[in-house]
Amino acid sequence: MAENEGELAESTTVVVIGAGPAGLTVANLLRRSGVDCVVLERRSREHVAQRQRAGIVETRAVRMFDSWGLADRVLGGVPHDGILEFRVDGESHFVFDGDGSDGPAAQLCPQQVLVQKLTVHYLADGGDLRFEAADVSLHDLSRERPTVRYRAPDGTLHALTCAFVAGCDGEHGISRASVPAGALTAHTFDQGIGWLTVLADAPPPAHPLLAVSPQGFAAHFPRGPRSSRYYLQCPPDDHPDAWPDTRVWDALRTRLGDPALASGPITDREIFRLRSLVHDPMQYGRLFLVGDAAHIVSPMGGKGMNLALYDADVLARAVRDFVHDHDDTGLRAYSRRCLRRVWNDQEFSHWLTRTVHDAGDDTDAGPFLGHLARARLDRLFSSQAAAGAFAELMTGLDPETNSVGSRKP
Ligand code: APR
């Protein structure tokens, strides 16, 4: 791409767009692999560091970081004890969601803690991370040396030529938007369910808790020693203003079947629709889409961030193999390999979403699907095989992934 007047021309191997879990993991793994990269993040470091979203790093992802020698540097929070509580009409059922081995287990690590630690480690390792990079644009993605342009906070225009672009800029980023229309297929699904999500300085539960009740679904997850995230099923077009604190705590106490539930100051409150989105393929020329830039999954099952971590691991290994061994096998298989896991986790999240919602307030689903959902719960609580399959899906471990996640890089 011809240089523009007055812009600073630079060159690197990979330009990573976005410094969320996907981008920072790609960057740390590439640096670990001796591959040169530059990360461009449009927000400030402070903004990115405080963005609270996901809360669990699944067993597979913990072992992935461990296989790169990074687990003890980038993971925070506390180990998950492998127990998930389902509370159905106030009755507790404890389901084991670990893999029963002595290997590293899932970590209850808030997303912002992971992002902060990945940032610190990357910078300490000499990584090139540029915050407040404005007006990022992608050029010549279908050629061997794409160019990424942006404007630095001091107004300087930069042009970075590279071999690959890692599009880690989330659902509303510039990466996927730079792909010509028609090159990708978007698969979408809307569950027709809304969730009010609440963050509060209130005691976390002993175990992550999913509650099924005739009044609707509710959940209570830990987000640190004195912080909790709650979810309450609501109409998809509902508004946070319709949920004052008293209504939130009353609904939680009713649906969780816990009249003595401790409350606390609510620090965040928003409503979103449960929906899914998958773009196929996850690549265009030298652009590789990673994490939310490629796919969105409903929070049921905690797979959003973990899919981003999976994609990042697959891409980093593929780029490393190409750069050091001129082996493009991983690059050619990237999209197929990631989409296999994406659809697996989409199916799991869909199954769990339908089960815990239809088994409760079956107004929308109808009594027949309500009975099917109750039967799925009954099977989960009574069949060892069903519980084993559930645990495998929660850990993210499966024959294919085990071979990737545990293999030394
Ligand atoms: N230029 C540079 N950076 C951008 C641009 C852009 N045009 N657009 C977005 N970004 C940045 C955002 O500011 C954000 O920091 O890209 C990053 C994308 O991060 P995430 O949205 O967190 O996506 P990802 O890294 O894939 O992680 C997925 O994050 O949103 C949660 O629930 C989601 O847990 C999941 C995880």
Domains and CATH numbers, the chain: 7-81+102-186+276-358 (3.50.50.60)
Burial 158-197 (b: 16+ CB within 10 A, else e): bbbbbbbbbbbbbeebbbbebbeeeebeeeeeebebbbbb
Q: How confident is the model at residue 399 (pLDDT cuts 50, 70, 90)?
A: low
Mean pLDDT of 30-44: 98
Say whether pLDDT at 185 is over 90: yes
Which residue minimizes the CA distance to atom 21 of ligand 1? 170
The C-alpha torsion from 269 through 273 and 276 to 277, rounded to 10°, is -90
Tell which wins on pLDDT, 363 or 139.
139
Give the count of beta carbons closer than 10 Å to the beta carbon of residue 101: 11
pLDDT value of position 408: 45
What's the gap in Å between 32 CA and the centre of ligand 1? 22
Say whether pLDDT at 252 is over 70: yes
Q: Hey, is 200 helix, strand or coil?
A: strand
What's the gap in Å between 182 CA and the centre of ligand 1? 23
Rounded Cα distance, 323 and 163, in Å: 10
Tell which wins on pLDDT, 224 or 268.
268
pLDDT value of position 405: 45
Mean pLDDT of 109-117: 94
210: phi then psi, degrees, rounded to nearest 5: -115, 125
Say whether pLDDT at 372 is over 60: yes
Rounded Cα distance, 386 and 380, in Å: 5
CB 149 within 8 A of CB 137: yes
70: phi then psi, degrees, rounded to nearest 5: -115, -10
Pick from 58, 106, 107, 100: which is nearest to 388 by CA? 100
Mean pLDDT of 231-258: 97
pLDDT value of position 37: 98
Mean pLDDT of 58-67: 97
Rounded Cα distance, 15 and 232, in Å: 39
DSSP 205: P
Is the Cβ atom of 193 under 6 angstroms away from ligand 1?
no
Residue with tokens 């294919």: 400
Q: Is the dihedral of CA 269, 271, 276, 277 positive or negative?
A: negative
Mean pLDDT of 38-52: 94
pLDDT value of position 341: 97
Identify the helix (H) or strand (E) that includes residue 194: strand 185-200
Is the Cβ atom of 305 under 6 angstroms away from ligand 1?
yes
Q: Hey, is 167 helix, strand or coil?
A: strand
Structure tokens at 177: 């938007």
pTM beyond cutoff 0.85: yes
What average pLDDT does the chain have? Answer: 94
Name the packing angle between helices 304-325 and 59-67 (round to 10°): 30
Say whether pLDDT at 404 is over 80: no
225: phi then psi, degrees, rounded to nearest 5: -65, -25
Q: How confident is the model at residue 175 (pLDDT cuts 50, 70, 90)?
A: very high
Residues 6+ apart with CB under 8 A from 102: none
pLDDT value of position 99: 87
Beta strands in 237-357 (DSSP E): 266-280, 283-284, 287-289, 295-296
Is the Cβ atom of 23 under 6 angstroms away from ligand 1?
yes
Mean pLDDT of 54-76: 95
The number of C-alpha atoms within 13 Å of 21 and in the hemisphere containing its C-beta is 29
Say whether pLDDT at 23 is over 90: yes
What's the gap in Å between 291 CA and the centre of ligand 1? 8
Burial 103-122 (b: 16+ CB within 10 A, else e): ebbbbbbbbbbbbbbbbebb
Say whether pLDDT at 159 is over 50: yes
Q: How confident is the model at residue 403 (pLDDT cuts 50, 70, 90)?
A: very low
Which of 89-103, 109-123, 177-191, 338-352 has the weakest average pLDDT?
89-103
Which residue minimizes the CA distance to atom 35 of ligand 1? 305
Rounded Cα distance, 392 and 215, in Å: 30
78-79 vs 209-212, strand pairing mode: unpaired
Say whether pLDDT at 52 is over 90: no
Residues 6+ apart with CB under 8 A from 258: 252
- Pocket test residue of 58, 292, 342 for ligand 1, highest count of atoms within 8 A of CB: 292
Q: Where are the alpha helices (DSSP H) in 53-211?
A: 59-67, 71-74, 111-124
Q: How confident is the model at residue 306 (pLDDT cuts 50, 70, 90)?
A: very high
CA 351 to chain centre: 18
- Pocket test residue of 40, 41, 114 for ligand 1, highest count of atoms within 8 A of CB: 41
Is the Cβ atom of 115 under 6 angstroms away from ligand 1?
no
